Structure 1
Amino acid sequence: MKIGVSLLNFRPGLIGGAETYVRQLAAHMPDVAAGHELVLIANRDNAESIVSPGWKRFVVDSSTLQITCMRLAEAFTLWRARGIERDIESLGLDAILFPQQSIFPKATAVPSVMTVVDVQHLFFPQYFSLAERAFRAAAYPAGLRRAGHVIAISEYTRQTLIGRCGVNPAKVTAVPFGAETVDISHVEPTTNITGPYLYYPAATFSHKKHETLLRTFAALKNRGDFPYKLVLTGMRTKRWPALCAEARELGIADDVIHPGFVPFAEVQRIYRGAAAIVFPSEFEGFGLPVVEAVEFGKKVITSRLAVFDEIGVPKEFQIDFANPDELAAALAS
């Protein structure tokens, strides 16, 4: 078979855990698809952003901005990206995977599989702008209808697609994220952070609940005998200045470290040196950092979500992060 994977909407540093998924897919798919011809379809801005041995590369002569504009036009009008449709059809693919939750071009004639990471907007629409909600309402259901098959990144996400989106159960398969096996003896703890620390790797989106973590961290600091610093990594969204201001008001600004989006090799070093991984998110389609942290033998403390039951987080380490006593107890156990 000749299989394509679309990276037309791939935006390094801006898409959270989906970036890890796409990069690992590109790295490992040649190993499991030996004998098949694989083609990465990229735009001219991101074509060099993924090292892809084992793949052929096809570059569409459009920028990321142009792709975004075309996706919007397809979502809200009858216009079609016929030029890119023709580009994809010219490759002679037997199937194409869209790993980022929507199909573009929407009328591609190649049999399509689409990965769904989450449908958070159905549960917490308040965390999305009117424009974001409108785009998701226009593009996501169309992709679910168009796809020949759908990959959900967890059974929780699969059941959501069946129950909330009306997807035929036979059409959707749960394929959970995996974490790369790590020989931790070859990973040195980061030298950029001194002293014991808690680590939260997550972009500062609203549902990640950084503010709840900051308040609970401050409450424990104020009690004394709490030696930890709090290390954050991931994309700094427009919410970051407000979170910085809150940390200052809480008196913990000197104990909060956020180097921004860092390469995964540095993420691994931060995992290695952490006292514990904390994950107070209000919604997750999967929660990849939780699985990554386990590879390092770290205590992982999460919020109470069905997907964390599925992953296997023990109940005693699923807590209400708004309650400092629960975090203190989980750290002490």
Structure 2
Amino acid sequence: MIPPRPTRILVDLLFYTGTRGGMESVVRNLYGALTPAMLQGVQFAALASRELAAAGAPWFPGRVIDSGIASSGRIGWALGEQVVGLRAARLGADVVHCPANFGPALSPVPVVLTVHDLISFRFPEYVPGRLAGVQRALLRAGARSARRVLTVSAATATDLEEQLGLPPEKVLVVPPAGSGRRATGVTRRGTLLFSLGNRMPHKNFTGLLEALARIAPARRPRLLITGGGPDDPLTAEVARLGLEDWVELAGWLPSEQVDRLYAEATLLVFPTLFEGFGLPVLEAMSAGCPVLCTDLPVLHEVGGEAAAYVDSRDPQALADAIVRLLDDPAERDRLAVAGTARAAEFSWERTAEQTLSALVAAARG
């Protein structure tokens, strides 16, 4: 008897450059969590950006194909998305997974699209230049064309239904998880605040710096921020506020170093004004790091009762919340313990299983 042919899944990794933060972390952990049992009856290949193909992807459970597209520029990425379906058909794929917000407007092969946030719809003022309009057009076309849309939170699922008019039955919430890794041999030396993210305005690092400046110098903690490039726009703001002795802008760091910083930090401060999920909250919790984050519904969805919340739009309120937690080690210990338990409620294996199930179902029609 001839065994059934495996379901061929092409994963669209054109977006992956190594510097796109949370979405890349989600994809690495998701595909790295596929177990041998899950891989029975399926066959994976990835259509990769030139950057990823050169760097390699040992976490991916299949062949990595160099698309020849350099995706460090968003235009190359956006244009490349439109030919993913055609490339998938030529490769004999049964379904395509586009895991980073954008997918082809037309595809001869079924597409499952993962949407992480709708910032270009909800807060277009946070997206530079004309990019918001381009993102809206691409996201709308890709989501409507896709056979199934996965998303990371109930808040973003609601946005998809309200902003794009997607029927609820087309949208499936598949939350990510924390890294599950704890750096070993790490001891906390002194007081250190940690924050991370890209430099788009909604991340609100200028608000965090303003809050730090409002803390008296004798009590002011050190702050380390990762995620900026070599020409970090926060450098001028640090100088303007006279915070050079307290703030380190560390640029992009590999995940192992980020894990170490979670373990070293006294407190993760996550002052964002908008998120589709808020992965750093969960990553910090899984590392036993107490979390102070913005009082947003989606971050309550992630952190529950295991995080401290503040109106980060108010620098004084943020400064007061930081000082209050630094002065209360018992509360920080409570948050660390509660956060570890909260993070354990999320599982990359479950994320991988739900994603794979959606892909196979889409392939079968």
TM-score bracket, normalised by the shorter chain, equals: 0.7 to 0.9
Q: What is the rounded CA distance, in whole Å, between the counterparts of 1:311 and 1:53 in structure 2? A: 26
- 2:286 is equivalent to residue 295 of structure 1: yes
- Conserved 8 A contact 2:28-2:60: no
- 2:243 is equivalent to residue 236 of structure 1: no
Aligned match for 2:257, one of 266, 271, 287: 266
Indicate the residue corresponding to 2:210 in structure 1. Answer: 215
Q: CA deviation at 1:234?
A: 1.0
Q: Percent identity?
A: 28
Indicate the residue corresponding to 1:277 in structure 2. Answer: 268
Cα gap change, 1:69 to 1:272, in 2 (>3 Å): closer
Q: What is the rounded CA distance, in whole Å, between the counterparts of 2:12 and 2:194 in structure 1? A: 33
Number of residues paired by the alignment?
Answer: 316
Q: CA deviation at 1:219?
A: 0.9
- Conserved 8 A contact 1:30-1:54: no
SS of 1:308's equivalent in the other structure is helix
- One-letter amino acid of the structure 2 residue matched with residue 149 of structure 1: R
Aligned match for 2:277, one of 266, 286, 292: 286
Aligned match for 1:225, one of 207, 219, 223: 219
Aligned match for 2:17, one of 1, 4, 11: 11
SS of 1:33's equivalent in the other structure is coil
Q: What is the rounded CA distance, in whole Å, between the counterparts of 2:93 and 2:35 in structure 1? A: 16
Listed as ranges, the gaps of 5+ residues in structure 1 are 75-79
Q: CA deviation at 1:325?
A: 2.0
- 2:46 is equivalent to residue 40 of structure 1: yes
- Conserved 8 A contact 2:71-2:77: no
- Conserved 8 A contact 2:230-2:251: no
SS of 1:253's equivalent in the other structure is coil
Q: What is the rounded CA distance, in whole Å, between the counterparts of 2:289 and 2:275 in structure 1? A: 20
- One-letter amino acid of the structure 2 residue matched with residue 27 of structure 1: G
Q: CA deviation at 1:177?
A: 1.2
Aligned match for 1:57, one of 51, 64, 79: 64
Q: What is the rounded CA distance, in whole Å, between the counterparts of 2:261 and 2:187 in structure 1? A: 6
- Conserved 8 A contact 2:229-2:252: yes
Indicate the residue corresponding to 2:302 in structure 1. Answer: 311
Cα gap change, 1:313 to 1:237, in 2 (>3 Å): farther
Q: CA deviation at 1:320?
A: 2.1
Q: CA deviation at 1:189?
A: 4.9
- 2:261 is equivalent to residue 254 of structure 1: no
Any runs of at least 4 consecutive aligned residues in structure 1 with deviations exceeding 6 A, and if so which? none
- One-letter amino acid of the structure 2 residue matched with residue 171 of structure 1: K
Q: Which residues of 2 match residues 155-174 of structure 1 at below 5 A?
A: 155-174=154-173
Q: What is the rounded CA distance, in whole Å, between the counterparts of 2:321 and 2:87 in structure 1? A: 55
- One-letter amino acid of the structure 2 residue matched with residue 40 of structure 1: A
Listed as ranges, the gaps of 5+ residues in structure 2 are 1-6, 329-365
1:185-206 per-position Cα deviation (integer Å, ceiling 9, x unaligned)? x35359xxx6321000112220
Cα gap change, 1:134 to 1:195, in 2 (>3 Å): same
Indicate the residue corresponding to 2:334 in structure 1. Answer: none
RMSD of aligned residue pairs (Cα, Å): 2.5
Question: Which stretch of structure 1 is more off in the superposition, 256-265 or 50-59?
Answer: 50-59
Cα gap change, 1:10 to 1:276, in 2 (>3 Å): same
- Conserved 8 A contact 1:189-1:269: no
1:261-300 per-position Cα deviation (integer Å, ceiling 9, x unaligned)? 0011001111111111100000010110100111121210
Cα gap change, 1:279 to 1:27, in 2 (>3 Å): same
1:8-34 per-position Cα deviation (integer Å, ceiling 9, x unaligned)? 222221x22111112222322355632
- One-letter amino acid of the structure 2 residue matched with residue 11 of structure 1: T
Cα gap change, 1:147 to 1:217, in 2 (>3 Å): same
Question: Which stretch of structure 1 is more off in the superposition, 318-327 or 265-274?
Answer: 318-327
